[in-house]
Structure 1
Amino acid sequence: MSPPLDMADPPAAPEAPPRQTRRYAQKRDAILQAAVALFNEAGVKGATLSEVARRVGLMTNSVTYYFRRKEDLAAACFLHTIAVLDALVAEAEAAPDPAARLRRLLDLTLAKRAAVATGAEPDTAVLNDVRALPEPQAEAVFSAYADLFRRLRGLFDEAGLDRAERNARTHLLLCVIHSTRLWIDRYEPRDYGRVAALVSDLLLGGLAGPAAAWSPAILPEPARPPESEVSPEAFLRAATILINQQGYRGASVEKISGLLKVTKGSFYHHNDNKDDLVAHCFSRSFAQIRAVQDAADAAGGSGWARLCTVSATLVRRQLGPAGPLLRVTAFSALPEALRTQTRLTMNRLAERFTFCLVEGMADGSVRAHDPGIAAQLVSSMINGAAELPAWVPGVTPETAADLYARPLFLGLFAPPA
C-alpha cells in the first residue's frame, strides 16, 4: 500500500508519462517476440542475447536492460506461453458442461494458431527446452505450468475418475494441444476451425466402432544385445534421455558422458561426433516404431485390433528398459540438414497409422472419422508417453496403456476400466 499523500504539498507528478510506459512495453514486447522465434529455432542453449538484439535492431546491452540474462528472457517467453494457454482454459471454463468446455478449448487453441499463421498475432514459445533452464527460472516456469495442469485437470472433475486417471487424461489433452503446431500447417488457416471440430469429435467420441473393445495385445520385446555402460545402445539411450529433457544443444557431450559416468575421451572413442549420435538416436526411435507397426500388421486382425496393439506396445516400451523414444519436439532445434529429413520421416510414420484406421473403418471396428487427424493424435499420444511418469506418479509399463492410451481410443470422458 502507498503511503498517504501530504495534502500540504502539491500533488506529485506521475512516475512515468504514458508515452514512455508504452514505449517500454513496446520494446519489451518486440524483444519477447524476437526471442520466441529464436528459441523455437535454436533452443535455449543455441540462442544468444546478441542475436535477439540483432533481430530487433538494438545493442545487446539494450536487451539486458529489460532481461539481464538469456535465461531470464527464456523464462519470460515460456511464462507468456503458459499464460496464453491458461487464458484459453479460463475462457473455455465458461461453457456449460465438460464436453462443451473441451470443444471451446480446441476452438480457441486453433483460432490462436490461425491468427499466428496469418500474421495477425505473434507466435508463442514451444515448451521444449524448459528443463534446460537453471534455477530459479526453472522453478518459476514449472510452477506456472503445474498451475495450468491443475486448472485443466478440473475438466475431468465430474467424470468419476481417480487422481491418476485424471492426471493421465490431462497430460494426454495437453500433448494433443501442444502437438497441433507440428501438423496444422497441412491445412489452410481458414479451415482451422473445422479441424478443431474434428479433433474435438475424436477426443470426445474416441476411435472405437460399435462392437470394438479395449483389449490390446502386447507384442514381445525383441532380444536386445548385452548392454554395458559404453555400448552403442547405452550412448543412444543416454543421449535420447538428455535430448528429451534439454533439447539438442542442451544434451552436450559432457552431459551424455556424465550420465554414463564415462569420460569425454570414451565418448569420442565410441562416437565420431554428437550430430551423428543424435541422427542415430532418431534412427533408433524410428526403427522401434516401424518394427512394432510391422509386427502388428504381420499378426493380423481388424484395423482396430492392430492399432490398439501398436499403441499399447509402444506406450509400454516408452517406460520400459528399451525406452524412451526420442520426443518429436526434439527436432525443432536440430541443424537444418537433420531437421528436414527428420520431420519428413516422423510425418511418414504418423501417416502409417492411417492404414489401420482406414481398414478399421472398412471392417467396422473403427468408427468413421478423419483418419489423417486421428493418426496425428495417436502419434502425439505415443510420443507424450515418455513424460507420463512426471505427471502420473506410480505409473508402470504395465498400467500405462490403460491409463493413458485407452482414453484416446474410447473417449476422454469414458468411464474407467
Structure 2
Amino acid sequence: MTAAVQPKVRARYAAKRDAIMAAATKVFNDHGVSGFTLAAVAKRMDLHPVSLTYYFKRKEDLAAAVLHETMARFNVMLEQAEVETTPAARLRAFVAGYFETRRRVVLGLEIPLAPFSEIALIEGDQHQPLLDAFTGLYIRIGRLLKDPAMPWITPARRQALARLVVFQLTWSDAWLESYEPEDYGRVAARIADVMINGLAADGQVWPDLPLLSLGSPDAQNDEVTRDRFLVAATKLINREGYRGASVDKISAELKVTKGSFYHHNADKDELAAACFARTFDLVDDAKRRALAIGETGWERLWLATVSLAMHQASADGGRMLRHHALAAVPQGMRKQVLIRFQQIGNAFAGMISDGVADGTVRPVDPLLAAQLSLVVFHAALALGYLNKPGDVTGLLDAYVRPALLGFFVE
C-alpha cells in the first residue's frame, strides 16, 4: 500500500467505525445491555453482522467501546470545568458543558451519549476496566467540589454528590425533549443554581419532624406472596436492568419454581408494570401525607423527599424502582411510566411553587427543581456503594442535606 493511499484507508476505517459507534449507541439506549447484540447494530446499519467483526470481535467489546466513548466525552466536559477557580464555578461549568453536549446531539452535531445505568452488566474482560474507568469518572467529578476552605465537604460527601450529579443530569433523558435546544443553556443555569444554592429560602432551618414510615413490613414467614414477587423483581431490575431480571432469576431470588412465578404473575412485563405502580403508590403516599402534615411548602417538600430517600436507602418495606430502571423497558410500558413520572414531577413542582409563594422556598424553576428532587430519593440506592446495604449511616449529612440545602452547605 502506497503512502498516498494509507491516509484514505485510515479515513474510511475511522468513518466506518464512527458510524458503527453511532448505531451501537442508539441500540444501547433502546435495548440496554441484555438486548445489545452485534446483529441488532448491523440491522440498524443494514449490514451483515459479520462485517462488524472486522472492527469489534464481540458484542462486549463494542458495548464497552460505546461506554468508554461516553466517559471520554464526560472527561472533556470536566477538563473545561476544572479551569474554574471555585467549586461553585466548576460545578456550574460542568453542568453547562453537559447540556451543551446534549444540544449538539439534538442538532445532529454529535452522537448520543450512552446511559451508565447498566454499566456493571458488561461481562468478560471488559467488566473491570469499565468499572475502574467509571469509578475514576466519579472521583474526578467529586474533585470539582473540593476546597480547602470547606473541610466539611468530606470525600464521602463528594462521592455521594458526584453520583447524584450524574443521576440528575442523565435523568434529563426523561424530560429534556420538552425544551427547545436554544433553551438548554438556561436549563443548565437553573439546574446548577439549585445544586449550588439548594431550595430552602433564607432563614429556613432543617425541619425537626419525624419521618414518614413508608411501605408495608416484610413478612416474617416463608409464604410466597405477590408482594414478595414485587419486592424481588424490584431488587433485580434495580441491580440488573429490565432485560437482565429474567423470570428464572426472579424465581431463584425467592427460591421458587417458574410454575410458582406464573401462578402469581401473568408474565414479566405485567410484574414489572406492577413494580412501577407500587413505586408510584409509595411516592403518592409520601406526597399526600407530607401535604397533610407540613405547615409550609418547604416542610412538605422536605418531609416527602427525605422520607422517600431514607426509605430507598434502608430498603425497609421494599425499595422503589430506580428512575434508571426505565432502560430497555418496552416502548409501550415506557410511555405510560414516563407519564406517571411526569405527573409526580408536576406534583412536586406544586409543592415547590407553594413554598415559593409562602416564602419558605427560594425562587427557582419549579419544574426543573422538581425533577432534581425526584432523583434525590430514587438515587439514594446508589449509596450502597458507600455503605453496607440498608445502612443509612451518614446518609442525611453526606447526601440528603446538601442535596436540598445546597452542595456546599456546612
Change (3 A) 1:395 1:101: farther
The Cα offsets for residues 251-310 of structure 1, whole Å up to 9 and x where unpaired, read as 111111222222222222222211111011101101001101011111131100111111
| 2:330 pairs with 1:341 | no
Residue 161 (structure 2) aligns with: 169
Residue 306 (structure 1) aligns with: 300
**Displacement after TM superposition at 1:225 (Å):** 6.5
CA contact (8 A) 1:42 1:333 kept: yes
Work out which of the residue numbers 355, 359, 379 in structure 1 matches 2:350: 355
Change (3 A) 1:53 1:125: same
| 2:46 pairs with 1:49 | no
Distance in 1 (CA, whole Å) between partners of 2:229 and 2:394 is 28
Work out which of the residue numbers 205, 221, 235 in structure 1 matches 2:214: 221
**Displacement after TM superposition at 1:229 (Å):** 6.1
Work out which of the residue numbers 247, 250, 258 in structure 2 matches 1:256: 250
| 2:377 pairs with 1:382 | yes
CA contact (8 A) 1:128 1:246 kept: no
Distance in 2 (CA, whole Å) between partners of 1:308 and 1:319 is 16
CA contact (8 A) 1:216 1:308 kept: no
3-state SS of 1:319 partner = helix
Residue 322 (structure 1) aligns with: 317
Residue 70 (structure 2) aligns with: 81
CA contact (8 A) 1:229 1:260 kept: no
Identify which range, 23-32 or 261-270, moves more after superposition.
261-270
CA contact (8 A) 2:294 2:303 kept: no
3-state SS of 1:65 partner = coil
CA contact (8 A) 1:216 1:312 kept: no
Residue 364 (structure 1) aligns with: 359
The Cα offsets for residues 194-213 of structure 1, whole Å up to 9 and x where unpaired, read as 11111111111111111211
**Displacement after TM superposition at 1:14 (Å):** 6.0
Residue 397 (structure 1) aligns with: 392
Distance in 1 (CA, whole Å) between partners of 2:166 and 2:223 is 35
**Displacement after TM superposition at 1:232 (Å):** 1.5
CA contact (8 A) 2:248 2:258 kept: yes
Identify which range, 275-284 or 62-71, moves more after superposition.
62-71
Residue 6 (structure 1) aligns with: none
CA contact (8 A) 1:216 1:305 kept: no
Work out which of the residue numbers 20, 34, 48 in structure 2 matches 1:59: 48
Work out which of the residue numbers 103, 127, 133 in structure 1 matches 2:122: 133
3-state SS of 1:46 partner = coil
Identify which range, 399-408 or 307-316, moves more after superposition.
399-408
**Displacement after TM superposition at 1:391 (Å):** 4.0
Residue 181 (structure 1) aligns with: 173
Change (3 A) 1:395 1:275: closer
The Cα offsets for residues 13-32 of structure 1, whole Å up to 9 and x where unpaired, read as 76981111111111111111
Amino acid at match of 1:96: T
TM-score (norm: length of structure 1): 0.92
Calculate percent identity across the aligned residue pairs. 38
CA contact (8 A) 1:325 1:386 kept: no
Distance in 1 (CA, whole Å) between partners of 2:194 and 2:223 is 43
Residue 71 (structure 1) aligns with: 60
CA contact (8 A) 1:31 1:52 kept: yes
Distance in 2 (CA, whole Å) between partners of 1:391 and 1:19 is 49
Work out which of the residue numbers 220, 228, 234 in structure 2 matches 1:234: 228
Identify which range, 271-280 or 242-251, moves more after superposition.
242-251
Amino acid at match of 1:270: H
Identify which range, 258-267 or 372-381, moves more after superposition.
258-267
Amino acid at match of 2:55: Y
Residue 5 (structure 1) aligns with: none
Q: Which has the larger radius of gyration?
A: 1
Instruction: In structure 2, list runs of 5 or more residues that go unmatched.
Output: none
Residue 332 (structure 1) aligns with: 327
**Displacement after TM superposition at 1:322 (Å):** 2.1
3-state SS of 1:156 partner = coil
Work out which of the residue numbers 277, 284, 299 in structure 1 matches 2:271: 277
Change (3 A) 1:285 1:394: closer
Distance in 1 (CA, whole Å) between partners of 2:302 and 2:83 is 35
The Cα offsets for residues 90-149 of structure 1, whole Å up to 9 and x where unpaired, read as 211011211111111111110000111121211111112212221322212111110111
TM-score (norm: length of structure 2): 0.94
**Displacement after TM superposition at 1:365 (Å):** 0.8
Residue 193 (structure 1) aligns with: 185
| 2:280 pairs with 1:286 | yes
The Cα offsets for residues 144-183 of structure 1, whole Å up to 9 and x where unpaired, read as 1101111111122213122222222222222222222222
Across the aligned residues of Structure 1 and Structure 2, the Cα RMSD in angstroms comes to 2.0
CA contact (8 A) 1:212 1:365 kept: yes
CA contact (8 A) 2:42 2:52 kept: yes
CA contact (8 A) 1:113 1:181 kept: no
CA contact (8 A) 1:247 1:330 kept: yes
Change (3 A) 1:222 1:269: closer
3-state SS of 2:70 partner = helix
Work out which of the residue numbers 16, 19, 23 in structure 1 matches 2:8: 19
